[in-house]
């Protein structure tokens, strides 16, 4: 389906192409961005003011999908494998003084991890309190309404449930009359966290060799190993240095999920941080984005979610909000399926991918998509308009408009339904 880009959006993209920083520059300026899906939402805050409500309109509905906040790493192995390598080196007298210090810090942190894998952290809770509070600030006329119905649903995973609770606490604190309904059930999983199936599952098997090639091409472990280990021949003979570097990078990147955690990112150079991020950026694009390698079908993993968004919006007759909570593996492909900003960009040459498609813009911890609906005020006539926010940033949508960032809902609905129907099941 050919994408129509408005004159306003084309002009905006021209400006960005001239003035925007490269991903390498952005990561050098803000090393937290290298963490991809491990970024603390508040380490990359939205700063631009939102466009005022169109004259003669009022906001009357919000449709939202958000990822849980920051968490411990999912698997025990993600901690104990790199830790085991450092312990082995210590036992054999192969650690540098820096390696000794890092091992001690790692051991102390490791005592906090048992039975915590995948749990929401206090940082993650804080993120959702902030998002909920800013919702009330950005859309005061909606969230201040007396007896406002708010339907909030979560996947069955505890970190998602707790994220929903934190956000709803802010909405209730702001408006004690709000009628908040919370729901958690396996019966909701089909759209809140849809399994890969059909064409999506088939195409999802592709790209493994490409991802492996990028992993090997952009892992340069020689300098990094010398920071931790005092005998490079021992490194060559006794451990997989590239594997250790990547595992340690994951731990380092996710340390921003914890208050007062050690700064392990400091042991990487800016180029190493960029390279490790680049490996992940390519991998996520192939697995969940509109990559030609997977024939552009991976975003359709969220077709049930998009249908739910559309069908729910069709039922709205009074001011209300629909909040959904889940995972980054839903937010990312949904943003691509919706073609928000450059999320739907089709890139043949992966060496140039990060010129237009950067995962940290899409799915930090706490990432969210807010579709905000506006209707003419009483006594006025006009179309229902929609604005999209990705992580609280206004983004373009894939139909023409004369009043960016606002789009006619009838145009968007027609575009998305045609797209879903053409894909099929």
pLDDT digits (tens, 9 = 90+) for 32-63: 999 999 999 999 999 999 999 999 999 999 99
Q: What is the pLDDT of residue 9?
A: 40
Indicate whether 16 pLDDT > 90: no
Which range among 12-21, 76-85, 209-218, 322-331 shows the weakest confidence by mean pLDDT? Answer: 12-21
Residues of the chain with pLDDT > 90: what percent? Answer: 94
The whole-angstrom separation of Cα 411 and Cα 392 is 23
Sequence spans of domains, the chain:
7-73+117-206+281-423
Confidence of residue 206 (pLDDT cuts 50, 70, 90): very high
Q: What is the pLDDT of residues 151-205, one digit of tens each?
A: 999 999 999 999 999 999 999 999 999 999 999 999 999 999 999 999 999 999 9
pLDDT reported for residue 418? 98
Q: What is the mean pLDDT of residues 361-368?
A: 98
The answer, yes or no, to whether residue 14 has pLDDT greater than 70, is: no
- When pLDDT is averaged across residues 310-315 and rounded to a whole number, the result is 98
pLDDT at 424: 81
pLDDT of residue 52: 97
Query: What would the pLDDT profile of 289-298 be if each residue is shown by its tens digit?
Result: 999 999 999 9
- What pLDDT is recorded for position 10? 43
The model's pLDDT over 209-246, given as tens digits with 9 standing for 90+, comes to 999 999 999 999 999 999 999 999 999 999 999 999 99
Q: What is the pLDDT of residue 119?
A: 98
pTM: 0.94
* Res. 20 pLDDT band, cuts 50 70 90: confident
Mean pLDDT over each residue of the chain, to the nearest integer: 95
Q: What is residue 18's predicted lDDT score, i.e. its pLDDT?
A: 35
Confidence of residue 389 (pLDDT cuts 50, 70, 90): very high
For 7-73+117-206+281-423, CATH gives 3.40.50.1240
What's the average model confidence in pLDDT over 343-367? Answer: 98
Answer whether residue 8 shows pLDDT above 70.
Answer: no
Confidence at residue 279, expressed as pLDDT on a 0 to 100 scale: 98
What's the pLDDT at 19? 44
């Amino acid at each position: 389906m050919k994408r129509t880009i408005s004159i306003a959006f084309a002009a905006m993209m021209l400006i960005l192409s001239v003035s925007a920083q490269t991903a390498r520059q952005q990561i050098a300026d803000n090393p937290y961005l290298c963490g991809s899906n491990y970024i603390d939402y508040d380490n990359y805050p939205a700063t631009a003011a939102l466009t005022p409500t169109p004259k003669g309109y009022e906001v009357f509905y919000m449709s939202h999908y958000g990822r849980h906040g920051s968490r411990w790493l999912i698997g025990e192995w993600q901690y104990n494998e790199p830790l085991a390598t450092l312990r082995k080196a210590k036992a054999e007298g192969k650690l540098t003084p820096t390696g000794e210090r890092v091992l001690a810090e790692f051991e102390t942190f490791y005592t906090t991890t048992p039975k915590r894998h995948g749990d929401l952290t206090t940082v993650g809770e804080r993120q959702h309190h902030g998002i909920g509070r800013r919702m009330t600030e950005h859309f005061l006329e909606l969230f201040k309404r007396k007896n406002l119905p708010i339907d909030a649903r979560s996947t069955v995973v505890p970190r998602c449930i707790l994220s929903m609770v934190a956000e709803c606490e802010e909405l209730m604190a702001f408006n004690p009359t709000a009628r908040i309904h919370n729901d958690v059930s396996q019966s909701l999983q089909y759209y809140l966290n849809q399994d890969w199936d059909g064409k999506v599952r088939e195409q999802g098997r592709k790209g493994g060799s490409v991802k492996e090639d990028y992993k090997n091409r952009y892992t340069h472990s020689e300098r990094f190993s010398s920071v931790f280990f005092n005998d490079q021949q021992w490194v060559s003979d006794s451990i997989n240095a590239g594997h250790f570097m990547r595992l340690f990078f994951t731990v380092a990147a996710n340390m921003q999920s914890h208050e007062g955690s050690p700064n392990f990112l400091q042991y990487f150079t800016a180029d190493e941080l960029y390279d490790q991020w680049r490996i992940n950026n390519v991998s996520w694009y192939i697995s969940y984005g509109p990559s030609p390698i997977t024939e552009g079908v991976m975003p359709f993993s969220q077709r049930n979610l998009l249908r739910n968004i559309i069908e729910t919006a069709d039922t709205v007759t009074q001011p209300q909000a629909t909040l959904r909570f889940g995972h980054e593996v839903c937010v990312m492909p949904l943003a691509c399926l919706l073609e928000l900003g450059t999320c739907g960009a089709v890139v043949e040459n992966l060496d140039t991918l990060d010129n237009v498609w950067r995962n940290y813009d899409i799915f930090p911890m706490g990432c969210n998509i807010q579709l905000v609906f506006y209707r003419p005020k009483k006594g006025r006539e006009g179309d229902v308009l929609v604005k999209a926010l990705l992580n609280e940033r206004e983004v373009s949508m894939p139909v023409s408009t004369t009043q960016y960032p606002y789009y006619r809902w009838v145009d968007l609905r027609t575009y998305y339904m045609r797209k879903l129907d053409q894909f099929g099941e």
